[in-house]
Structures are given as C-alpha cells and as structure tokens.
C-alpha cells in the first residue's frame, strides 16, 4: 500500500463509490459489477466477518441468490436448514421444560421454492459475494475509510459526487469523483451522519440479549431445530448452524426487571450457566465458543434514504432492529437489489432519473413494516405463558383444520411467517407498479380475473421448456440481468395466433418500447445469446397453454419471440395449488387459459403491470403507456400529444402531457381574481416568481394531489402560470379545483377559489381534447 496521498488534480472517476462490505454493500457491488459499472468499494475492516453476526438467509433471499447464481456456492458450505420451529415452555407436570408445539418455519400457505431458513455464518456469505466480485475485477479496498464527501449536480452534472477516502492508518488517501455514493456502513453510518439524516427510534431499548455461537454437547432433543424456550429461569432461542455449531440467543435483561439498565451485560460463563438452568432437565456443555456478544434491542428507522438521489443509504445504516427474526441481512440484500437495477436503468439511458426516488419510497416502507413486526414479535416473545398456550392452540388448529383458536398470536405468527420468509413484501403503487392512478390508462391493462398484484413477486410456476423438455422454474428462467421480464402467457395457440402475431408485429414499430431501446451491437450478438439478443432492457418469455409435444416454435411463435427460443415453454405441469387447472401457470396468475395475457415483471422479479393479449395494437400500446411513464424516450402514439387547449370561463389552460403534466394557465387578471389573490394588485403590477414559490393541486374532494414550482408572468391583463408535475398521475375522474400558493402541501392561500375549476374530467378526456 502506498503511503503517499493518491489524490490528484484530475480526480479518478467512478460510477459509484460503495462504503461498507457487509451484506448491503456487497449485494449492490455484485449487481452493478455484473452490469459493467466502474466501482470503488471500500471497507474499514482488514478482512471479511470472521465470526458472529447474521446467519439466517430467508426463502425469498435464497430465490434471489439463486437468480444470481450464488445459491450453489453458499450451499457448498452445507448450511443448516430450518424447516420447523419448536416451542418449549415450563412443563405442566414436574419441573423443567417440555415441548408444547411446533410450527413450519415457512408454512405451506406460502408458495415458496425453498420453505426453510438457511443458516450460515455471515463471513461465508460475504466471501461468496467477494469471489463473484473478483470474477468481475472488483476488489474491496481494505482497510480504508471515508473521510468526507460533497455532492453538487449543478457544478458537475456527470460526476457530481466528490469523495475523500483514507487508509485507516491515515497515511494514504484518495480523492475521487463519482456519479453515486452509497453508504452501507452499518448502524453507525458516517455518510448518514454527514447528511444529517436522523434515526427515529420506535421505543426505548427494552431488552438486552446475549448471543453465543459454539459447538455443544447436549441431550436436549431439538438442538438441531430452531426453538423458542421459555422457562422459569429465563428465555433462550436456539438456532442450528453449519459445522455442528449452534447459536443461542439468551435474554440477559428486560425493562420490566427491578434493576433494569440498557447497558447491563453478562460474561460468557454467566450466559452458559443461565442456559444450563433454562434447559433443565437437559444438560448442555460447550466444546468451544466461537463468538459471544451482548447487544441491546431497539428499533430505529432513518428519516430519509437519500436527499438528492446521488448519495444513497441502505441496510443497517437506515434500519436497525432485533436480530432474532433474522431479517437485517435479508432486508439489506433487497435494499441493494432494489437500488441497483434502478441506477442501472438510469445510467444505461433507459429510465428517467426520477425513478431513483422510488428506492426510498419502496424500501423505507418495507423497513417500516419490519420495525412494526419486530416490535410486536419482541413483545409476543416476552409474553411467554400466552405464547406457549397459543402455540399449542395453533398446533391443534393445524391438525384439525378448525378455525378455533385463531387469535392474535396465531395471526401474528402467520403474518410473521409471510413477512419473515420475505414473500410478504408488497410495494405500493408508483410509476413502476401499475395502479388505476398510473398514467397508463389503456383498457386492456389489469384484466379481469388476474390474481397477480403489482408490487408483489411473480408467482412460482413449473413449466416445460420447449427446446429441451426440461421442467423448469419459470420465475427463475431469466437471470438477474437488469432487464424487464416480459412474460407472454400465450394461451392456446389456436386461439391466440392472431393476437400473438399482432403483438410481435407491433413490437417492431419504430416507436414501440422495444424498438426504442435496441442494442447498437446486434450484428455482433452471438447466436447463443438467450436473454438479450435485441435489447439489454427486455427479455421475453412465451408460455403456451398446450402440451410441449404440440408446440412447434417455427409454426406457433412469431420470429421475434422465437429468437428467445430458450424462453418458450409449455404450461403443462400439474400444480398441487391448482389441481384442476389445465394450464397451472396461467391459472395461478388468474389469466385465461385460452386467451392468456402479458405480464411485465421488473428486473427484481416484482410484477409491474398485467395486460390482456389482444388482436390489434392494444397490448403493445398498453406496454408503451406503462414504460413511457418513466422511459427517457417518448413511446407510442398516445404519448406524442400536441399541446391541447381547453377553455373555461375565467381562464384558458394549455395542457401538455409528456411524462408528467405541464400546465400553462392564462388567467384573466380581473377584479374578481384580484379578490381571490391574497394581496390586491394593480393590473399592471408585475408578479415576481417568489410570490408563488409553489403551486399545489387539490382534487375535487379537496385532497392534496401534488405541488410544483411555478413560473409566473403578467402581460397586460393576463397572468400566466407555468408549472410542471413530473410523473404526475391523477385520480380518475379528477378535477383540479384550486391552485394554491404554498410553501408546503397543506398551507392554504387560495389563488383561485374552488368555484373556478380550470381543469376537470378524466385523463383520457384531457388527452383527447
């Protein structure tokens, strides 16, 4: 390592600087490295995690790791797999503890490919990522730390972030320029502190726990199961691990203790003695202790994940909670994945920069749910007698199928299972997750019967790949390549032949979402390229509701879709969740088994939009509308709107729709309006911009819709207000009844009274005027 400063007047340029090589930083780096980004990744530790920390990979994360090709190297470590949780409580007769029930770790109502938690040391997990990074020539620079940064887009629009890095011994330093900076340095994030982003804590710290990893000798029968054990001597959670190890979480102190103190601690020997008492009548002794730590439990959530969509935070830097439900690392993975593909789509020139705002919107909401759940879970865990009896009731219910005993604990437990498995994530509507208020208004969107929910993961389905008759997992067929996955459920070939041909033809129109983003190097693309032969942003899969032997690609599949020959499937596999369906994948998605439908899945596997597969241009038009709401180019006919002019009694309004609503209001600046404007003015008085720093839009129920900067000018008697609402979509039907001068959404100085409705109707009407 050079001991001299490596800063230079012409700073080195990177796409991103990632600080912290824990789960969040490594996932982000691994994704972006695969897509060819130039990364500077640092960590202040000299080596990856040696002992302790996270060990539980949840089912959804395992799907993701498989999708990235990282599941096999993880499984090579022979991790423990937790299929069931056992509840142990004070024995009803005699002394000591007894098992009172068990419950599936990932119950069958969750459609998981891997219905178990994988337990493996965080260090092994980190090394799997590091090996993958090395394949893409990215190395984590250790032990280096961050000393400072600035971000100024106005000064340097391309590389707005300047970052100062330093070797931890202080003798070498570097100054870099980057497009992005990511703070993934865990709970004590330097980047978060520099941005002055606060952490809100849910409750004061209420529990102190010890955690011990080691190899034990014991006659406790469930030592290779996950167990929650409550006894008159205290509580323990048992987590089996790889290499004959076991992790014990042991409650050391609780806020209900008479001598409660959040800094209370205990030695490893104290904790072992406590474990021996709790496990009676069973015995336990330690061959070796690998790691022991004491930690207080509190739930904290960052106020923001970014301030300028250039410097981002993720993982423990913005959310912390108890480790017992095994969520932190898993949530960190999904934070990073969510940000990675959005940065990719923006930097690759596909998506408007504003999609980066959806990172905080989506992931902060997940963290909020996680903290709520964690808070409840911690409380339920401490209500031990209730928990035990209710777990027993839960067990009975499972056995008998009765709904008796369905109570708060069981409900919470079930919810927890969906949540902790990772399948409970449901992103709210936004420009990526279609809803009725999305700008895409085509009537073919959201076909009746579809059970797919936008913002949720695509269903799992087994299908037969036509070219090699392999039965495959449809949702895993497209690797995490940063592309949208377009699943064309093509129904019965005899029914959909026309619609499929029209779909493929229309995709080839010059202004379709597909043609607008073609690879420039198509001529050089290998014949064997399966996923992105034409465009780096889309991979197509075509699934027929037909037996494999009846599908002939050259006859049934239009040539554009046939180019994705490894992605043509027969929906001919029986599914126990759809025992009567002829085409289970179609049926699981709620799509007509004969007529099919088209499902747009985001690069992270969440459903973005569903449309009917119809003859004519309707399906591609709908996809153009959906993508056109956030792409950098204009797509299709509908969005190429001319300026439209509508008149009303008081005003004329020009409306332009182009990935957002631009409105120019010409108001007759008459005496009547003067009364409605706060300060009476002379007709000729110029109105300066600061007079109207923002205008807010309200709907006809007086609910705030959005606000925008306004540019005003006054010419003769005409007051002109120009404002633009990027990516705005309005409730349907809507009526903009007030323009309000405001410094925030809810202040109210009405510029026009509510009687002066200048815009009303539906989006479609507005666009067709």
Ligand X SMILES: Cc1cc2nc3c(=O)[nH]c(=O)nc-3n(C[C@H](O)[C@H](O)[C@H](O)COP(=O)(O)OP(=O)(O)OC[C@H]3O[C@@H](n4cnc5c(N)ncnc54)[C@H](O)[C@@H]3O)c2cc1C
**22 touches ligand X by CB under 6 A:** yes
Identify which of 528, 560, 516 has the alpha carbon closest to the alpha carbon of residue 542: 560
596 torsion bin: left (phi>0), alpha (psi -120 to 50), beta (else) = left
Sorted by sequence, the CB contacts under 8 Å of residue 170 that are 6+ apart come out as none
Q: 531 is written with which tokens?
A: 């996923």
Identify which of 655, 653, 540, 511 has the alpha carbon closest to the alpha carbon of residue 598: 540
169 torsion bin: left (phi>0), alpha (psi -120 to 50), beta (else) = alpha
Burial of 280 (0-12, 13-18, 19+ CB in 10 A): middle
The minimum distance between CB 457 and ligand X, in angstroms, equals 18
**240 touches ligand X by CB under 6 A:** no
The minimum distance between CB 302 and ligand X, in angstroms, equals 11
**391 touches ligand X by CB under 6 A:** no
Mark the segment that binds ligand X (CB under 6 A) among 69-77, 78-86, 310-318, 624-632.
Answer: 310-318
CA 679 to chain centroid, in Å, comes to 47
Footprint on residues 670-689 left by ligand X (CB under 6 A): none
Q: Cα(287)–Cα(540) distance, rounded to whole angstroms? A: 54
The minimum distance between CB 132 and ligand X, in angstroms, equals 16
Render 222-262 in DSSP notation, one character per residue.
TTTSEEEEEETTEEEEEEE-STTEEEEEEEEEETTSTT--T
List the 245-254 sheet strands across, edge first: 97-104, 84-90, 226-231, 234-240, 245-254, 207-218, 284-297
The minimum distance between CB 148 and ligand X, in angstroms, equals 11
The minimum distance between CB 83 and ligand X, in angstroms, equals 16
The minimum distance between CB 236 and ligand X, in angstroms, equals 14
Q: 751 is written with which tokens?
A: 């510029």
Closest CB to ligand X among 332 and 610? 332
Closest CB to ligand X among 26 and 110? 26
Mark the segment that binds ligand X (CB under 6 A) among 17-25, 456-464, 667-675, 694-702.
Answer: 17-25
Q: Cα(51)–Cα(214) distance, rounded to whole angstroms? A: 10
Closest CB to ligand X among 207 and 738? 207
Alpha helices in 573-641 (DSSP H): 584-589, 618-628
Residue from 88, 190, 409, 540 binding ligand X (CB under 6 A): 190
**185 touches ligand X by CB under 6 A:** yes
Closest CB to ligand X among 372 and 691? 372
The minimum distance between CB 26 and ligand X, in angstroms, equals 7
Residue from 59, 210, 302, 315 binding ligand X (CB under 6 A): 315
- # binding residues, ligand X (CB under 6 A): 34
Residue from 59, 296, 323, 636 binding ligand X (CB under 6 A): 323
Closest CB to ligand X among 366 and 504? 366
**621 touches ligand X by CB under 6 A:** no
**140 touches ligand X by CB under 6 A:** no
**145 touches ligand X by CB under 6 A:** yes
Mark the segment that binds ligand X (CB under 6 A) among 301-309, 325-333, 353-361, 643-651.
Answer: 325-333
End-to-end CA distance of the chain, in Å? 67
**211 touches ligand X by CB under 6 A:** yes
**29 touches ligand X by CB under 6 A:** no
The 3-state DSSP class for residue 642 equals coil
**181 touches ligand X by CB under 6 A:** no
Using only C-alpha atoms, what is the Rg of the chain? 29
**20 touches ligand X by CB under 6 A:** yes
The two counts, helices (H) then strands (E), for the chain are: 17, 37
Residue from 55, 162, 174, 546 binding ligand X (CB under 6 A): 55
**330 touches ligand X by CB under 6 A:** yes
The 3-state DSSP class for residue 211 equals strand
- List of residues contacting ligand X (CB under 6 A): 19-25, 42-45, 52-56, 145-146, 184-186, 190, 211, 295, 315-317, 323, 326-330, 332
């Amino acid at each position: 390592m050079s001991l001299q400063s490596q800063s230079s007047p012409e700073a080195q340029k990177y796409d991103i600087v990632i600080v912290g090589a824990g789960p969040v930083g490594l996932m982000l780096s691994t994704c972006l490295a695969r897509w060819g980004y130039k990364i500077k990744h640092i960590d202040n530790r000299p080596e990856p995690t040696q002992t302790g920390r996270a060990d539980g990979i949840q089912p959804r994360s395992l799907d993701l790791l498989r999708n990235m090709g990282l599941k096999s190297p993880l499984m090579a470590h022979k991790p423990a797999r937790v299929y069931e949780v056992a509840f142990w409580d004070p024995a009803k007769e005699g002394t000591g503890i007894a098992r009172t029930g068990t419950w599936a770790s990932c119950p069958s109502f969750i459609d998981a490919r891997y219905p178990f938690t994988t337990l493996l040391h965080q260090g092994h997990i980190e090394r799997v990522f590091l090996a993958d990074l090395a394949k893409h020539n990215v190395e984590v620079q250790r032990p280096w730390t961050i000393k400072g940064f600035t971000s100024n887009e106005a000064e340097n629009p391309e590389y707005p972030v300047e970052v100062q890095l330093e070797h931890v011994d202080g003798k070498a330093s570097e100054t870099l320029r980057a497009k992005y900076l990511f703070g993934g340095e865990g709970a004590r994030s330097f980047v978060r502190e520099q941005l002055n982003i606060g952490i809100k804590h849910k409750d004061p710290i209420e529990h102190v726990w010890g955690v011990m990893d080691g190899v034990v000798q014991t006659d406790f029968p469930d030592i290779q199961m996950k167990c929650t054990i409550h006894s008159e001597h205290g509580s323990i959670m048992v987590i089996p691990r790889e290499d004959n190890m076991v992790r014990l979480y042991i409650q050391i102190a609780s806020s209900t203790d008479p001598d409660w103190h959040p800094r209370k601690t205990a030695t490893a020997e104290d904790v072992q003695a406590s474990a021996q008492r709790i496990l009676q009548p069973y015995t336990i002794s330690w061959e070796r202790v690998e790691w022991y730590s004491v930690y207080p439990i509190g739930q904290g959530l960052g106020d923001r994940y970014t301030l300028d969509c250039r410097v981002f935070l993720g993982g423990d830097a913005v959310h912390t909670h108890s480790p017992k439900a095994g969520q932190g690392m898993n949530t960190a993975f999904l934070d990073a994945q969510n940000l990675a593909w959005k940065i990719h789509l923006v930097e690759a020139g596909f998506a408007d920069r504003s999609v980066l705002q959806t990172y905080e919107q989506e992931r902060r909401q997940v963290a909020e749910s996680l903290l709520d759940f964690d808070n409840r879970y911690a409380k339920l865990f401490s209500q031990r007698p209730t928990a035990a009896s209710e777990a027993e009731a839960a067990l009975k219910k499972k056995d008998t199928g009765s709904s008796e005993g369905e109570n708060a604990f069981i409900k919470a437990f079930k919810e927890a299972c969906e949540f902790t498995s990772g399948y409970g994530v449901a992103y709210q509507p936004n420009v990526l997750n279609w809803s009725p208020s999305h700008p895409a208004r085509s009537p073919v969107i959201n076909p009746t019967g579809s059970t797919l929910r936008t913002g949720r993961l695509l269903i799992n389905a087994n299908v037969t790949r036509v070219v090699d008759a392999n039965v495959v997992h449809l949702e895993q067929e497209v690797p995490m390549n940063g592309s949208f996955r377009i699943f064309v459920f093509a129904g019965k070939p005899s029914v959909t032949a026309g619609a499929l041909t029209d779909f493929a033809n229309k995709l080839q129109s010059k202004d379709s979402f597909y043609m607008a983003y073609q690879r420039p190097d198509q001529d050089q693309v290998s014949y064997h390229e399966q996923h992105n032969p034409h465009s780096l942003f889309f991979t197509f899969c075509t699934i027929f509701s037909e037996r494999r032997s009846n599908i002939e690609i050259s006859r049934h599949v239009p040539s554009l879709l046939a180019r994705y020959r490894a992605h043509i499937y027969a929906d001919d596999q029986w599914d126990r969740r759809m025992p009567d369906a002829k085409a289970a994948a179609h049926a699981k998605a709620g799509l007509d088994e004969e007529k099919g439908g088209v499902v747009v899945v985001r690069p992270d596997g969440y459903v973005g939009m569903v449309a009917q597969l119809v003859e004519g241009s309707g399906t591609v038009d709908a996809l153009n509308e959906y993508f056109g709401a956030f792409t950098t180019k204009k797509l299709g006919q509908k969005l190429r709107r001319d300026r439209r002019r509508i008149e009303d009694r008081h005003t004329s309004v020009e409306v332009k729709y182009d990935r957002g609503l631009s409105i120019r209001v010409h108001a007759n600046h008459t005496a009547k309006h003067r009364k409605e404007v706060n300060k009476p003015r002379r007709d000729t008085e110029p109105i300066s911009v600061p007079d109207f720093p923002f205008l807010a839009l309200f709907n006809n129920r007086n609910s705030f819709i959005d606000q925008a900067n306004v540019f005003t000018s006054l010419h003769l008697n005409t007051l002109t207000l120009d404002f633009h609402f990027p990516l705005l979509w309005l409730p349907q039907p809507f009526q903009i009844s007030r323009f309000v001068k405001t410094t925030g959404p809810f202040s109210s100085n009405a510029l026009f009274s509510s009687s002066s409705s200048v815009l009303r109707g539906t989006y479609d009407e507005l666009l067709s005027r």
